[in-house]
Amino acid sequence: MKYDRVWDDILSLEDHIITYMLYKEGKTVEAISKIRRMSKNDVERDIIKSKRELLINSNQKEDLLLKVISMPKKERIQYILDMNIEIKNQLSEDIYKRYIKFKNPEDRMILIWLIGELKDEKLIPILKMELSSKITNYRRLSCSALGKISRKETKDWVEEMLEDSNPQVRQYAAKALTYIGDEKTVGKLEQLYKFDEKEYVKRAAKISIEEIRKRNSSK
């Protein structure tokens, strides 16, 4: 099944393909759920089914990256745990070359998460770019991924996110700094702990302070 210009013949489309085309246009699962009057689970099932059809019907070599982001969450996590170094390198290369081609927010969020799991330093510039995104989830997940990669040179970027307008981003930044923070970071986290209005942000800051100090005391 080819997915280009399918709106020209909408009456002949199967329901799951209509769902997928809305997804390809950049609409979120929640938005599609409202447009199509379907549950979010049914929307996600339609998207997965369509992606798998696209893979099966493609005449090209298996699209590994599309395969991974099309998996249900539990299956994807297990796949990442089991992958060998060759698969890891192939995924990293695919993300490096194709990241900006993925426009749908759900796909982007999976890719940002995947970068954190792969821990490939050449993908760090993508995370730095997304720290400036207008989309909260991109900023939040980029903080988390940078914490997993744990490169000291990214510390200043994550520290800046402690002042983000969104409390979840501040929380994820505080968690990420657990792995890359230093004594200077502790001072910033202490300010967050004292003055942030959200208790879950305060808890994240407190835990991070304790872990950084524990790590420094063991050196």
65-89 residue pLDDT tens: 988 988 888 899 999 999 999 999 9
Ramachandran area for residue 150 (φ above 0: left; ψ -120 to 50: alpha; else beta)? left
Question: The domain containing residue 186 runs over which residues?
Answer: 154-219
Of 149, 178, 200, the last residue of a domain is: 149
Question: Does 120 share its domain with 188?
Answer: no
Single out the residue of 164, 102, 115, 122 nearest to residue 139, CA to CA: 164
Other C-beta atoms closer than 10 Å to the C-beta of 189 total 26
**What CATH number corresponds to the domain at position 214?**
1.25.10.10
Question: Does 72 share its domain with 126?
Answer: yes
Question: Does 165 share its domain with 199?
Answer: yes
Question: Does 178 share its domain with 211?
Answer: yes
Q: Spell out the residues 6+ positions from residue 35 whose beta carbon is closer than 8 angstroms to its own.
A: 22, 27
Question: Does 138 share its domain with 165?
Answer: no
- Number of domains forming the structure of the chain: 3
Is the model's pLDDT at 17 over the cut of 50?
Answer: yes
Q: Quote the pTM value.
A: 0.76
What pLDDT band is residue 8 in, cutting at 50, 70 and 90? low
Instruction: Calculate mean pLDDT across residues 145-173.
Output: 96
